[in-house]
Amino acid sequence: MPHPFDLTGRVALVTGANTGIGQTLAVALAAAGASLALVGRSAMDETRALLQGPGRVHEIRADLSTNAPLQAVVAETLATLGGLDILVNNAGIIRRADSVDYTEADWDAVLDTNLKSLFFLSQAAGRHMIAQGSGKIINIASLLSFQGGIRIPAYTAAKSGVAGVTRLLACEWAAKGVNVNAIAPGYIETNNTEALRQDEQRRTEILTRIPAGRWGKPADLGGAAVFLAAPASDYVNGVVLPVDGGWLAR
């Protein structure tokens, strides 16, 4: 009987795989046996050096701030690795400013990358997965999928949208063999939270509220990703899974 967390023979496409959370998720999926298409705007040498597992690795340079490369990213993954079983929509950006000063340009940039591209890449991958009768899509949501946040209006709107799109696609595709779920990271030590961690007051306020007593590390998300990518989660649909050290419980 196959191990319920074994990804041997599966092909995973991970966006934003060059650093932070995307890099960690790629490492976790590779360790579980998956072959990987690593998608990012910059070189992924560091990610490649961390990968351990039996699968193959292919790097795709693409800017996901527009829809232009999305079909090609899926086509290249299929042509190079021979399939597509898992999509991890991780690529994202953040722009901070008071709402009274927030610009349309920043709003559009965040929504285009964090929500629009996520949906249309899911659409492109979903067409293939529906045709083969199976697939796993894992979207990276946020605590801001549940809460309002401060000084990040576009990010909050986008991540709220990610939760909604995750549920919608689950409703449409579950019966077609495609599981669509999301992970909502808490306060994780990444480039996106650097500004918060450098602000002594905000850092202290955040840490005081986290029941686990520490900021999360990208590696804390790896197990959730493997679970949602593996046969173990075949009857899990439309879930937005917080990995937050208990933040939402307080």
From residue 1, how far is each of 4, 6, 7, 231 by CA, in Å? 9, 11, 14, 12
For Cα atoms 124, 127, 133, give the angle at the middle one, nearest 5 degrees: 140
Q: What CA–CA distance (Å, rounded) separates 35 from 135?
A: 14
Report the sign of the C-alpha dihedral through residues 72, 78, 80, 84, in that order: positive
Contact by Cβ (8 Å): 143, 206: no
Catalytic residue among 102, 155, 187, 235: 155
The alpha-helical segments, DSSP class H, found in the chain are 20-31, 45-50, 70-81, 104-111, 117-132, 153-173, 194-198, 200-209, 222-229
Residue 155 is a catalytic residue: yes
Q: In this structure, what token pair is assigned to residue 116?
A: 């629009």
Q: What CA–CA distance (Å, rounded) separates 38 from 17?
A: 6
Q: In this structure, what token pair is assigned to residue 31?
A: 């360790």
CA 249 to chain centre: 22
CB 148: neighbour CB atoms within 10 A?
A: 9
Q: Name which of 235, 119, 218 is nearest 177 in CA terms.
A: 235
Please identify every residue annotated as catalytic.
155
